[in-house]
Structure 1
Amino acid sequence: MTDHEVFTLLAMGVYIVLHILVIIRILLRPHREPASRVAWIVVMVVVPGVGLISYLLLGETNIGRSRVARVHKVLGTLPHVADTPGIDSETAKASIPEDYRHLFHLGRTVNGFHPVGGNRAHLLKDSNATIDSMIADIDAAQEHVHLTFYIWLTDHNGLKMAEALKRAARRGVTCRAMADALGSRAMIESKHWKSMAEAGVRIAVALPIGNPLLRPLKGRFDLRNHRKILVIDNWITYCGSQNCADPEFRVKAKFAPWVDAMMRFEGPVARQNQHLFATDWMAQVDEDLGDVIREPLRAGEPGFTAQVIGTGPTVRTSAMPEFFETLIYSARRELCISTPYYVPDEAMQSALCACARRGVKTTIIFPARNDSWIVGAASRSYYQDLLAAGVEIHEYEGGLLHTKSLTLDGNVTLIGSANMDRRSFELNYENNILLCDPKMTVAMRERQESYLESSHPVTAEEVSAWSIRRRLWNNTIAMLGPVL
């Protein structure tokens, strides 16, 4: 046997052993659904080389040990929000109708945030109105401005925001701005990012990628900070789907306009978003924001109860899908959802089907044209079962419907950054706000109704008429959902 043959046999042996070890890891890894294990093993067997590399790069929800340790250290350092002077969570809990108390109890198990009362909110008209409102609040800020965006573009709205931060910093307001390394890379690499720092804005990059060749050794590069948070003076905060960009969203202009929804909140719930921001900031910057969390709250006014739900790879596994499923099972009369990306697990799909089957008017609004062809195909693979169960599906025609919203029985609303897909549920850092208030829920429901007016209904007959080729494509993509 020649040296070349010996080397080839040894290489094949190492290759086979490595595949076996990875398959064992797939079977033993905690917090993975059976469907996900099966999907990964199928990929490993059918396309072994590609499967092996794919799993090593994308198979683990691994953000890096050092980052995990840093986040846990930060959480151990920061004071608990419930200890903030001026927060009365017991009164807030007592004000929640009995039918919905379990929702806020589940929410508390995610971050430890109690439901807090005394909040007011306003649903902004559209994306441009949201940016204008944010800038007006920044211009009126007296103490600090804390901002996080997943996508921050160097377009009209993006530069308006940068200029507002610079104005605030120059007049002595402490401004901290954080942007995701991947989603906002154009802004971070631009002269505008540097000019903010020169003006006194404290800037930070969330989840920096570093050397792309070495990044897989330290954790997945595609685990991102998808949050959209603005907190001003510990009292005003924003929550919803809006990135810092024009609705024309020129990086993907053919899908425009991006249609988003944001709520402006005033009250104690802002402190919970502040806690999320402080955790993200301190995980990247050696600066203690504990004193900001400890500041007593100003005297509030009567208002509704709300609670922040912040999830991510360093939070309890599957916290967000658990929360969505609990909301769905809690519906008694009406459930309306808008989401751009729908790639559910079996439990989520079953919850929606069961919701319609028990007589709840269940409506879901998707974009007719999705900027992700993979997610668009996977989403449509679930249409047939949803329609058969009685779920009403509508596809929005007026642009890319990017709003992530859920309204429940005219009383409860969930709004935020989380999509109903595996990326939001398992990989990205997200922030949502749960609120119990008929007035705000009516406002959100009216916005959803405006989406329906610009949508077309999807019928069971239409889906049944899809070609075999189209159904095969959709189902194949959906089958790979657990590995995407």
Structure 2
Amino acid sequence: MNFSFSEPINLVGLAAVLLQLTLTIGVILRVMLTRHPPGSSFAWILLTTIVPYFGFILYLLFGERTLGRWHARKLRREMRKRRQIFRHIMHTEAMAPENYRNISKLATRLGKFPLTKKSSLRLLDDSEETLTLLVNDIDNAKELITMEFYIWDVGGKADDVSAALIRAARRGVQCYVLVDAIGSSRFLSSDWARMFRYEGIHLESALPVSLFSALLCRADIRLHRKIAVIDQKIAYSGSLNMADPHYFKRNANVGQWVDAMVRAKGEIVSSLYHLIHFDWKVLTDSEITFPEFKNSAVVEFDMPDQATVMIVPSGPGTTNDANQRLIIEAIHQAKKSVEIVSPYFIPGEALALALQNAALKGVQVTLILPRKSDSIMVNYAAQRYFDELLKSGVHIKLYEKGMLHTKSVTIDGELSLFGTVNMDMRSMHLNYELMLLVFDEGFSQKVSALNASYAESSSEINLFQWYKRSVFVRMKEGASYLLSPLL
């Protein structure tokens, strides 16, 4: 009797090939039917063709901007409430300087928050000073503290803030803390988190991830905002996570992290508070009642730091790509100068062309980026854009004294966008982000002075020297660029 094993083996092989083709064609058709940017579409098709099974699983997890139906319902409900609270937003557009009315109008329609005039912004460019001020404000709090951060770290002055919150809770101050489930995973499993809950601090994680949730919504959409509001009178926002730069990511070999924040007072505090309230309602499963904002007849702010300012949040389900639209519009309106500081730079074609056009028109365009980044692939993908930017006359400076993490855009020394938005695909299209849109020459000049201090510790790229980089480096840039829409 003769036995043959070749036939079943061939059938298994044929089935594997058919499954591979089915998965690849399925992803290609889905990408074609879904409105992805062309670069992102090509990257997904390329990835799925090269590694079909792995690419298919990645597309299921990360391929489309979806929060799941339950979160989407909550988001629509809270968006209606926001519009009801800020019914007067269209009446605030005229507060902007006349030459920036179009940007003001665009921002109010995209962000759904009002422009405020009775507000003050104090620029803080030293992380240690910022955390010390925050501890002092927490120690002076009398009624309510609300905070949300992408990363809440353990160690150094971050622990001082945690200890101050516990002291506040013990003296009867209500404390609400919202942190991203992935960015703050270390903190959420730490003794500090257990002490928070024991002391009555309401601690919640935003966008928690599980195997079940990963099948219903994207696991890599994160809450990237950084906000603290004390007694509904003082607020902080900017690029600094709740982390001491002396302790944070010391093994990343990028040096100390460099950040900037603002300490805000006045009407803008209401907007920042409502944004935390919105995120608590939409991005968590919490059943805890979040306190409503108490409107005061008297608005307190610091006259020397007065600024006309509004917040512009962005994220899936709200106004997608709001900050990208604003940044591009601001660059188009620049007459003299554009200054951009960003830790991660993968601008995409629209933003890259806007920068090139501005430089070709004679606008002084300056990019200040870190020499070393904690993401090597992002660094190489960024370099792929440098050739055309440099040829157009854009000045690119690489910061040498650490991981420059500040995120700001300054136009003509008059208009500033300042906050959490990186110049990359993730910030522009995916994460929940926040920028302050500031129509104030005084504040913009302070940001420009801060940029100048960064530039002093930077080296500028020379176009002719840049051309001399090796073919191997160019190949790494090209490979990273192909996958850049997914980074």
TM-score by length of 1: 0.93
User: Are 1:414 and 2:417 matched, yes or no?
Assistant: yes
User: Are 1:404 and 2:403 matched, yes or no?
Assistant: no
Q: Describe how 1:338-357 pairs up with structure 2 within 5 A.
A: 338-357=341-360
Offset of residue 293 of structure 1: 3.2
Aligned to 1:164: 164
Aligned to 2:48: 44
Aligned to 1:100: 100
Offset of residue 234 of structure 1: 2.0
Offset of residue 345 of structure 1: 1.2
Offset of residue 95 of structure 1: 3.4
Aligned to 2:280: 281
Counterpart AA for 2:43? A
Structure 2 unaligned residues grouped into runs of 5+: 1-5
Report the more deviating stretch, 349-358 or 229-238: 229-238
Q: Is the contact between residue 308 and residue 434 of structure 1 (CA under 8 Å) also seen in structure 2? A: yes
Aligned to 1:442: 445
Counterpart AA for 2:216? K
Offset of residue 324 of structure 1: 1.3
Counterpart AA for 2:483? L
Q: Is the contact between residue 83 and residue 112 of structure 2 (CA under 8 Å) also seen in structure 1? A: no
Q: Is the contact between residue 151 and residue 242 of structure 2 (CA under 8 Å) also seen in structure 1? A: yes
Q: Provide Cα deviations, 1:178-217, integer angstroms capped at 9, x if missing partner.
A: 111111111110111111121121111111113xx44431
Offset of residue 406 of structure 1: 1.1
Offset of residue 438 of structure 1: 1.1
User: Are 1:424 and 2:423 matched, yes or no?
Assistant: no
Give secondary structure in 1 for the equivalent of 2:365.
Answer: strand
Counterpart AA for 1:310? P
Offset of residue 2 of structure 1: 5.1
Offset of residue 77 of structure 1: 4.4
Pair 1:231–1:80, CA change in 2 (3 A):
farther
Distance in 1, matches of 2:265 and 2:223, equals: 24
Q: Is the contact between residue 93 and residue 116 of structure 1 (CA under 8 Å) also seen in structure 2? A: no
Give secondary structure in 2 for the equivalent of 1:342.
Answer: coil
Q: Provide Cα deviations, 1:417-437, integer angstroms capped at 9, x if missing partner.
A: 110001111111111111111
Aligned to 2:368: 365
Give secondary structure in 2 for the equivalent of 1:136.
Answer: helix
Distance in 2, matches of 1:446 and 1:279, equals: 34
Aligned to 1:53: 57
Pair 1:71–1:124, CA change in 2 (3 A):
same
Report the more deviating stretch, 134-143 or 431-440: 134-143
Aligned counterpart in structure 2 of residue 74 of structure 1, from 78, 92, 97? 78
Aligned to 2:66: 62
Aligned sequence identity (%):
33
TM-score by length of 2: 0.93
Distance in 1, matches of 2:337 and 2:271, equals: 29
Aligned to 2:122: 122
Counterpart AA for 2:33? L
Give secondary structure in 2 for the equivalent of 1:414.
Answer: strand
Give secondary structure in 1 for the equivalent of 2:326.
Answer: helix
Distance in 1, matches of 2:371 and 2:440, equals: 31
Aligned to 1:245: 243
Distance in 2, matches of 1:288 and 1:250, equals: 33
Give secondary structure in 2 for the equivalent of 1:406.
Answer: strand
Report the more deviating stretch, 433-442 or 65-74: 65-74
Q: Provide Cα deviations, 1:219-257, integer angstroms capped at 9, x if missing partner.
A: 222211111011122222112100111112443442221
Give secondary structure in 1 for the equivalent of 2:335.
Answer: coil
Q: Is the contact between residue 79 and residue 293 of structure 1 (CA under 8 Å) also seen in structure 2? A: no
Aligned to 2:220: 222
Offset of residue 300 of structure 1: 4.2
Aligned to 2:202: 202
CA RMSD after TM alignment: 2.0
Give secondary structure in 1 for the equivalent of 2:164.
Answer: helix
Report the more deviating stretch, 414-423 or 14-23: 14-23
Structure 1 unaligned residues grouped into runs of 5+: none
Q: Is the contact between residue 418 and residue 425 of structure 1 (CA under 8 Å) also seen in structure 2? A: yes
Aligned counterpart in structure 2 of residue 24 of structure 1, from 29, 41, 65? 29
Aligned to 2:262: 263
Aligned counterpart in structure 2 of residue 385 of structure 1, from 378, 388, 392? 388
Distance in 2, matches of 1:269 and 1:161, equals: 23
Distance in 1, matches of 2:395 and 2:21, equals: 49
Give secondary structure in 2 for the equivalent of 1:280.
Answer: helix
Distance in 1, matches of 2:94 and 2:75, equals: 33
Distance in 2, matches of 1:430 and 1:299, equals: 26
Q: Is the contact between residue 223 and residue 431 of structure 2 (CA under 8 Å) also seen in structure 1? A: yes
